[in-house]
Structure 1
Amino acid sequence: MRSTRRLTGGLGVVAATALVLAACSGTPDGGPEGSAGGEEVPEGVTEVTFWQQSFTDEENEWYEGVVDAYNESQDEVHITLTAVPGDAWEQRMTAAQAAGNAPDIRTMNYGGVRNAALTSQITPLSDLISAEAWDDLQENVRGSVTVDGEEYAYPMLVEPSAILWYRTDLFEAAGIDGPPTTWDELVADAELLTNDEVFGMRLAQNAPDLSWSTWGYQWNVAGHLPISDDWSEGMATEDYAPLLQAFQDLFASGALPPADGVGYPDASTFGDGQYAMMANGSWAASQLLNDYPDLVPNVAVAPMPSFDGQSGQTTATLGGWTWAVDGNTEVAEEAAGFIEWALGGDTENVVPFFEATQFSKVSPRVSVAEAISALPDVDTVNPWNAVIQEEIVPFAQPEPGYPWNVSLAMGEAIEAAMQGTPVSEALAAANDKINTEIANSELAGTGS
């Protein structure tokens, strides 16, 4: 059975009255939709404001609980939490920054850390959070929040961006022994699995989703990303031709149908039985476990295929979320203290987050990962956990930190090739766009 362990080491029993999130629209001072309204801050207590992007109910409840527990644990600092809908995040954050009301702490994905650090939007945290907390992080993840020798955010979780989810019952019916290990096999299997009732494969199909969900494939096929390490020149070369050709072939075969109108991270159409295989991130586990429990016994996972068929290669990137402190805050020390308490301190404060999300996400902290692996029910709750942890996460690369327009250029190239544009033409257009971005944003020499 699933563990019913309660939170003890600081988080304790969450208060019966959770933080109420108002559903009102933005306020003139930059307050966001979904903000917490009417919360009283005790007199003489330092207020620290915290905006988080609104996630699943389970994740939001953990955020509320950890904030409540911290506020109850001491009487010097009060954290005021605001959950902001994802589709309103950029608009609300921009308005708050313009009005001088940016939150002291905010959630930030790894890809945004470098630019935010270089433009002084966030505060360096190296000296504000203990060495013990930093040293507990996996080195590759710690590197994702380090800019010019300083750590600028504290990692909360990582998620492999691309995993092959497949229906074992449909594979058996089609006479396929196991998951494909090359992209040629993926295309062939997808065609074999396609019939009047099911399509063979589901992948991202629009340029924005292709821009980030294919980072791991890009790395695998070319051995590099489409911009030089110092960000001085585009490298969207013919090295990427096999990737674009694979998307073109898959779509032309009919095994990958026209887009189903659901974003890449959403596993619902796979759960509904429309596909035999799906590329998606580790987060899909939670959706399948919660919404499609009857399907779970017939679903297995594997690394996405490599282009040479060898195992133990990068086919996914590690994305996810960090907590960062605003560059203009006047309460940086207090903000960092809360971050360390919640994310970098007692493992009992953060393990419940991974339990609540059914271990569909991965902790970047060594001690937290060890505590999770010691739980007796991890693989019972999430039957795909072992494969993801052992065969995918160790070989995943951190997501790149270059500007979004570089990624979008590649996403547009893959989409164009999929829809029939000659591969060489699509790549040439991507490289021109990347070089234009380098010039316009003066990127040369700023890469890492």
Structure 2
Amino acid sequence: MRTFRAAACAATAASLLAATTACGGGSPTGGGGSNDKPETLTYWASNQGPNLEADKKILTPELKKFEKRTGIKVELEVIPWSDLLNRIVTATTSGQGPDVLNIGNTWSASLQATGALMPWDDKAFEKVGGRDRFVESALGSTGATGSDPAAVPLYSMAYALYYNKKMFADAGIDGPPATWDELVADGKKLSRDGKWALGAEGSNLSNNIHQVFVLGKQHGADFFDSRGEPDFTSDGAVAAVKSYVDLMAEAKIIAPGNSEYAQNQSLGDFAKNKTAMVLWQAAASTFESQGMKEDEWGVAPVPVRSGAPGPGTSVNSMVAGINMAVFQNTDNLDGAVKFVEFMTSDEEQKILCSAFGSIPPVKSAQRDPAFDRPELEVLRKTLAESAAPLPQVPDESQFETTVGTAVKNLFAAAATGREVTTETVRAELVEAEQQMTKQ
């Protein structure tokens, strides 16, 4: 572990910490002081596979490979998404953090503003092969516009619509819906006999944001204005949130119990044939781990309001993915950068992205035949043509918490039979915007 100038980033980090949920106390695991073993790196990895043990099994041999080549040992901790942002923010405020860590790409600008992460200028990028190695959409989610990136793309993903082929056939539906109206119409045919059309995770704040951000773009809303100030109460933002919650409240194609679902619970229902569709990013490995065969499900682009997704028209995914960052004051900067170079090499990108079902953000690695599977073709095309990055502003993580909670509250209302109206949606978003301005 490394110490860094905590005071330099305290104000921004404190704001982030106030916005996160279930913030833990005490030092992060493995924390404390400067390291007297600079040949050792500590690495916080995000949970990419079906569980933490699966990630450790995939990553451990690769870290051993890095140690054999460089003499640098990597101490690994895989952290669940429910804890990761809190752990990182606590590290920035306590002065204790890992050498290298994974971050959700939507957090890049927020964490960049703390000053805790090493900036990746042209000279730093040269050490990992240069910016040109990376896909442009992935680089667009590495920090605030006009600043050196705070991280390097590691895994790229996009959202897709996964559907159960047998459930569709049994309902007399020929193929997946292309528009939201078609999804609702199909959903009413599929929601029967104790089964439901679409899975959702009403208590998963980040997933709530991912869905309403896409719907916001489809309704002409960005959630932040040109100055980076919150704009949660525009007509487009309200319509986007209402249209998502209405899939439970009005169309009744999402089970009321989904209002309490947290991460990956919707995927479990899908794999067990309890729901016919789910909106997710790179889900194949999770389905497989739960016993669902690849030929039992299909994949299609996320629906749009009308027409089809395409360049400059219908956004149907956020630019999803994982970035790799280095803590600013590591006492083994050269080793940390070497580790990032290793993890983003063509060889490792092919191994890791194949194992995790993601898309390499490295252009040359994308050309490997391993990434020609139908699922990844849909995701790759989405990233290239119809995905947009979440706002790269310092307040993005608070946005995920405040608006994500507003959506959670509205799902809870719908689940208990309370009416969800334009006015009730706007009231929740007004409160979310007020919380942002108080911080």
Contact 2:202 2:261 in 1 (8 A): no
Q: 1:61 pairs with 57, 62, 66, which one? A: 57
Q: 1:327 and 1:44 mapped to 2: Cα distance?
A: 18
Q: 1:302 and 1:71 mapped to 2: Cα distance?
A: 40
Aligned ranges 1:360-375 → 2 under 5 Å: 360-370=357-367, 372=368, 374-375=369-370
Residue type of the alignment partner of 1:190: G
- What is the CA distance between 1:154 and its match in structure 2? 1.1
Unmatched 5+ residue regions in structure 2?
Answer: 1-24
Residue type of the alignment partner of 1:337: K
Contact 1:154 1:324 in 2 (8 A): yes
2:422 matched to 1:426? no
Match of 1:149 in 2: 147
Q: 2:61 and 2:42 mapped to 1: Cα distance?
A: 16
- Pair 1:45–1:235, CA change in 2 (3 A): closer
- Pair 1:141–1:29, CA change in 2 (3 A): same
Residue-by-residue CA offset, 1:282-326 (whole Å, 9 max, x unaligned): 2x21111332334x3231111121112333221111222111111
SS at match of 2:202: coil
2:277 matched to 1:280? no
Residue-by-residue CA offset, 1:84-133 (whole Å, 9 max, x unaligned): 45555456545555554321211111122212222201111222231733
SS at match of 2:130: helix
Aligned ranges 1:206-217 → 2 under 5 Å: 206=203, 208-217=205-214
Q: 1:236 and 1:432 mapped to 2: Cα distance?
A: 10
TM-score (normalised: structure 2)? 0.79
Contact 2:112 2:143 in 1 (8 A): no
2:107 matched to 1:112? yes
Contact 1:203 1:278 in 2 (8 A): yes
Residue-by-residue CA offset, 1:32-83 (whole Å, 9 max, x unaligned): 1xx69xxxx9x986333322235434432333223222221134x4433333
- What is the CA distance between 1:367 and its match in structure 2? 0.9
Residue type of the alignment partner of 2:268: S
- What is the CA distance between 1:385 and its match in structure 2? 2.6
- Pair 1:103–1:209, CA change in 2 (3 A): closer
Match of 1:175 in 2: 172
Flag the structure with larger Rg: 1
2:115 matched to 1:124? no
- What is the CA distance between 1:254 and its match in structure 2? 3.2
Contact 2:135 2:361 in 1 (8 A): yes
- What is the CA distance between 1:365 and its match in structure 2? 0.9
Contact 1:187 1:246 in 2 (8 A): no
- Pair 1:440–1:403, CA change in 2 (3 A): farther
SS at match of 2:342: helix
Residue type of the alignment partner of 2:198: M
Contact 1:318 1:393 in 2 (8 A): no
Match of 2:231 in 1: 234
Contact 1:54 1:83 in 2 (8 A): yes
Match of 1:333 in 2: 334
Unmatched 5+ residue regions in structure 1?
Answer: 1-27, 442-448
- Pair 1:110–1:245, CA change in 2 (3 A): closer
Contact 1:207 1:408 in 2 (8 A): no
Residue-by-residue CA offset, 1:244-266 (whole Å, 9 max, x unaligned): 14532543343211124543534
Q: 1:392 and 1:151 mapped to 2: Cα distance?
A: 20
Aligned ranges 1:300-379 → 2 under 5 Å: 300-312=298-310, 313-343=314-344, 345=345, 347-357=346-356, 360-370=357-367, 372=368, 374-375=369-370, 378-379=371-372
Contact 1:245 1:423 in 2 (8 A): no
Q: 2:75 pairs with 77, 80, 88, which one? A: 80
Contact 2:137 2:319 in 1 (8 A): no
- Which 10-residue stretch deviates more, 245-254 or 192-201? 245-254
Match of 1:292 in 2: 291
Residue identity over aligned pairs, in percent, reads 18
SS at match of 1:407: helix
Contact 1:251 1:257 in 2 (8 A): no
- What is the CA distance between 1:156 and its match in structure 2? 0.5
TM-score (normalised: structure 1)? 0.77
Contact 2:167 2:190 in 1 (8 A): yes
Q: 1:391 and 1:114 mapped to 2: Cα distance?
A: 23
- What is the CA distance between 1:383 and its match in structure 2? 4.5
Equivalent pairs counted in the alignment come to 392
- What is the CA distance between 1:431 and its match in structure 2? 3.7
SS at match of 2:77: strand
Q: 1:191 and 1:306 mapped to 2: Cα distance?
A: 18
2:132 matched to 1:135? yes
Residue-by-residue CA offset, 1:326-381 (whole Å, 9 max, x unaligned): 123233233112211321x3x11221112222xx21111101111x2x34xx55xx
Q: 1:81 and 1:350 mapped to 2: Cα distance?
A: 18
**Which structure shows the higher helix fraction?**
2
